[in-house]
Structure 1
Amino acid sequence: MESVKRGDQKTRVRYGMLFLVFINVVINYLDRSNISVAAATFSKDLELSSVQLGLIFSAFGWTYAFLQIPGGLIADRFGPRILYAFCLITWSLATLFQGFARGFASLFALRLATGAFEAPSYPINNRIVTSWFPDHERASAIAMYVSGQFIGLAFLTPVLTMIQVYAGWKGLFIATGLVGIVWGAVWYFFYRDPLDHPRVNEAELTYIEEGGAVIRRANKNGGKASVWQWSNFQQVFSSRTLWGVYIGQFAVNSMLWFFLTWFPTYLVKYRGLDFIKSGYLASVPFLAACAGLLLSGFLSDRSVQRGVSIGVARKTPIIIGLLLSMSIVGANYTNDTAMIIFFMALAFFGSGMALISWVFVSILSPKHLVGLTGGIFNFMGNLASIVVPIVIGHLVQGGDFKPALVFIGALGLIGACSYIFLVGKIERVPMRDGEKEGALISA
């Protein structure tokens, strides 16, 4: 505590740490989505079929999804400063080497590596926000860093397009990889946990800790020993309500992964748009998704403040958003570029509204299994990153993209039905045998 400054007026160091996390998320999603910008070119150079392209799009998801729970455990055991720097640098190196890929196998393997090294990133984000922000500021903090995935892609997709125009797809991967490596060093230099930061004062520490922030880990082993018991997995897999949000999250992420993978290829190859123009138009749906996310969070919180039940306040924006996401099918019935982008933006706006679904992890999960439930929630949702690119690759083999958009729209309907019919009364799944609340390991 010697490094902690004293003073009556509390500092605002937590917002600086949140900004660092925001940049991490921007880079995180740049290295997920750069493959989609480069796809139209490298698929020709490497002579890849649509099926092979779908497999490469999905490769990231194989390792990312299946390492969610281990990633959460790793994030809970190691400090964010060192672990995040390690993850940033290693996934960025994997990204950089994609610029030297010579065929399907090498590119597929490097995308697997990217997903593996990114797996702990969101659990780390959750741990940082849990450490730096009191309960009543945490939802806003999470919304802010999550918005980085849309804001970053909206404004930087045109930049990625221009890099590819002037440096080729190889240069695109090298450039984005170098950015992440440099930022990994910046993160290590500037980030500190609350008790270790030289600029935070006692007033801010007291404020965030009394508000529920976890900045002292005196019981850091609490609950971990029991997480891997089979009975705990049975508990979080046997709840109909939890299955409802698992299925709903798969549907929400399906739309996201369409935009992160096939969307630019759809505009260029299947709609005949100019590559540079497509880069600018592709940013519009990401801005719409960001607007949907922020609007949904605001309306949901306002509803709770006005006395609306938690179930109605939290489920209604998600259901409306998932139903809106079905509007993507409308692009099948027009050849007008403006209308195509309109339907895409409307659908992604709806998907953004549904992204507040993360609130159900803390509302529904057993108190001692919040982390395990969050890891499974992430795992189920990110299965979409595997399934959706592969299925689309098969659906478009004949040169027609219409079945793929129907497929994405149908998943939106399934997600809405899941929240309507499976997610019943919103109440926490009860703890068993008087077990104690464990540590939060994922989000």
Structure 2
Amino acid sequence: MPEPPARRAWTVVVLLFFFMAVNFMDKAVLGLAGQRIRDDLGIGDTAFGTIGSAFFLLFSVAGVAVGFLADRVPARRLLATMVVLWSAAQLVVALPAAGFATLIVTRIVLGAAEGPAFPLANHTAFGWFPDRERTLPGSVLTVGGATGVAVGGPLLAVVIGQWGWRAAFALTGALGLVWLAFWLRLGGEGPYAARRRDAAADGPLPPFRRLLGRGTVLGSLACGFAAFWMMAVAMTWLPQYLQRVHAYSLEAASLMAAGTQVVGIVFILAIGQAAQRMLRAGRSSRVARGLLGGAAVLTSGLAMLLLTRVGGGAALVAVMLVAFTVGNSFFGLMSSALAEIAPAARRAALLGTVTAVASTAGAFGPALSGALVERAGSAAAGFGHAFDLCALLMIAGGLLAAALIRPARDRAALGVAETPERIPA
């Protein structure tokens, strides 16, 4: 007996949840191991920031390329290939001979393999749901990334403390291969995927350049850039900020970072569920996706301004809970808003392109933050400059998202039909 469609759909979402969890563990390991890597390899803040930014060198290029490819090649095959590449990149770093140059090269490869991960995971998940049901699956995938940090952070900290930083890279590479085995057995595309539908159902396809000029896309780019900047800086520098400015141990810093992500999971799911309920109740996607998502990033930006001004202890933890978590809910809302204005045959390309361009923030954020820290009179002052810059970007991005993201208006202007509630058997 074939598996019931709803159960099958959520099986794929769960697999993609773990896909994103491993993805973010791969990202988090560098920041957690940062002090050990700097000491072992004898490099400074600017050099370490360069390693962090190297991850994003091909991140955007790969995101665009795979986005267009995903409208033609089954996602099952593309996701499997990406995981093989990023697992290999992590495992190479575990070799004793791997040094600074190896870290640069493997982070570039890792970025190329992981650049398309979030948009392609969303595209695959959206192939199992109609438009008004997509916000929650998109939020679940965002939670997958937060879970990778929340669970992976303390685990990787223990591994680094007991067996060294190279063992942590080996662990993340092995987890990717475990996921691959499950995906090859259970993964697949749903009935709303472009290749599973009658192309005529979408009507004439608008030129891709017309999609890029819509307010929903521009607002998503601005806000997404700010949110990616925050994410990249947090992954690379937050553990070191806690260690160097507030004198926390690696284990304590990893637990604090993990704690913020646990709370972030609650925020992301709550905001995603709220958006989906608003849509079911007849509220516009501008309100449920644009205003709500922009407000989330704006809130995180305001909290970021307080991060280096509240001292330590409980106040620091409370501000961290908002600054590094609430804004992450934007990614799920952004993906569903973009999917709303794109025909199925353009969906993967649009998701990949917008995510790729927005994620260029990661190529600048860690390196510029490292330079600010190294050139300041003290680590505290340097981190203050870095986090303030991040805050201003997030405040501006949140305001632009709230003003520009209007999916229903843009879909009508493009002549794109709404996604049907059901695909005929």
Q: TM-score, normalised by structure 2?
A: 0.86
Q: 1:106 to 1:24 in 2, by over 3 A?
A: same
Partner residue in 2 for 1:346: 322
Partner residue in 2 for 1:149: 145
**Match of 1:243, as an amino acid?**
L
2:70–2:348 CA contact under 8 A, matched in 1: no
**Match of 1:354, as an amino acid?**
F
**Match of 2:322, as an amino acid?**
L
Q: 1:120 to 1:166 in 2, by over 3 A?
A: same
Structure 1 residue 79 and structure 2 residue 56: aligned?
Answer: no
Q: 1:140 to 1:304 in 2, by over 3 A?
A: closer
**Match of 1:216, as an amino acid?**
R
Q: 1:263 to 1:20 in 2, by over 3 A?
A: same
Selected match of 1:270 from 228, 245, 254: 245
In the TM superposition, what is the alpha-carbon distance from 1:219 to its structure 2 partner? 4.5
Partner residue in 2 for 1:416: 398
C-alpha distance in 1 between matches for 2:54 and 2:348: 25
In the TM superposition, what is the alpha-carbon distance from 1:342 to its structure 2 partner? 1.4
More displaced 10-residue stretch of structure 1: 344-353 or 378-387? 344-353
Deviations 1:231-289 (A, max 9, x none): 633x2444455322211111122222222221111111232111111111111221232
In the TM superposition, what is the alpha-carbon distance from 1:304 to its structure 2 partner? 3.2
**Match of 1:254, as an amino acid?**
W
**Match of 2:357, as an amino acid?**
M
C-alpha distance in 2 between matches for 1:321 and 1:89: 34
Partner residue in 2 for 1:12: 7
In the TM superposition, what is the alpha-carbon distance from 1:175 to its structure 2 partner? 1.8
Selected match of 2:264 from 266, 289, 297: 289
Unaligned residue ranges in structure 1 (runs of 5+): 195-208, 439-443
Partner residue in 2 for 1:197: none
**Match of 2:44, as an amino acid?**
S
In the TM superposition, what is the alpha-carbon distance from 1:145 to its structure 2 partner? 2.5
C-alpha distance in 1 between matches for 2:252 and 2:30: 18
Q: 1:314 to 1:330 in 2, by over 3 A?
A: same
In the TM superposition, what is the alpha-carbon distance from 1:36 to its structure 2 partner? 0.9
Deviations 1:50-109 (A, max 9, x none): 111111111111211121111112333333333322221221110111223643322111
**Match of 1:412, as an amino acid?**
M
Partner residue in 1 for 2:306: 330
1:154–1:286 CA contact under 8 A, matched in 2: yes
Unaligned residue ranges in structure 2 (runs of 5+): 420-425
Selected match of 1:358 from 326, 329, 335: 335
In the TM superposition, what is the alpha-carbon distance from 1:126 to its structure 2 partner? 3.1
2:123–2:347 CA contact under 8 A, matched in 1: no
SS of the residue corresponding to residue 250 of structure 1 reads helix
C-alpha distance in 1 between matches for 2:403 and 2:77: 44
Q: Within 5 Å, give how 1:32-431 maps onto structure 2.
A: 32-100=27-95, 102-193=98-189, 209=191, 212=192, 216=196, 219=199, 232-233=208-209, 235-325=210-300, 326-355=302-331, 356-365=333-342, 369-397=346-374, 398=376, 399=379, 400-423=382-405, 427-428=409-410
Q: 1:166 to 1:245 in 2, by over 3 A?
A: same
C-alpha distance in 1 between matches for 2:32 and 2:296: 26
1:317–1:353 CA contact under 8 A, matched in 2: no
In the TM superposition, what is the alpha-carbon distance from 1:136 to its structure 2 partner? 4.8
C-alpha distance in 2 between matches for 1:372 and 1:53: 33
Between the two proteins, the alignment pairs up a number of residues equal to 410
2:12–2:187 CA contact under 8 A, matched in 1: yes
Partner residue in 2 for 1:24: 19
1:323–1:350 CA contact under 8 A, matched in 2: no
The percentage of counterpart residues that share the same residue type is 24
Deviations 1:104-143 (A, max 9, x none): 3221111000111223433442343234344454332222
C-alpha distance in 2 between matches for 1:78 and 1:11: 24
Partner residue in 1 for 2:423: none
More displaced 10-residue stretch of structure 1: 170-179 or 367-376? 367-376
> Max radius of gyration: which structure?
1
More displaced 10-residue stretch of structure 1: 349-358 or 278-287? 349-358
Q: TM-score, normalised by structure 1?
A: 0.83
Q: 1:21 to 1:350 in 2, by over 3 A?
A: closer
SS of the residue corresponding to residue 265 of structure 1 reads helix
In the TM superposition, what is the alpha-carbon distance from 1:157 to its structure 2 partner? 0.8
Q: 1:276 to 1:309 in 2, by over 3 A?
A: same
C-alpha distance in 2 between matches for 1:429 and 1:160: 44
**Match of 1:299, as an amino acid?**
A
**Match of 1:31, as an amino acid?**
D
More displaced 10-residue stretch of structure 1: 283-292 or 36-45? 283-292
Partner residue in 2 for 1:198: none
1:328–1:405 CA contact under 8 A, matched in 2: yes
Partner residue in 2 for 1:201: none
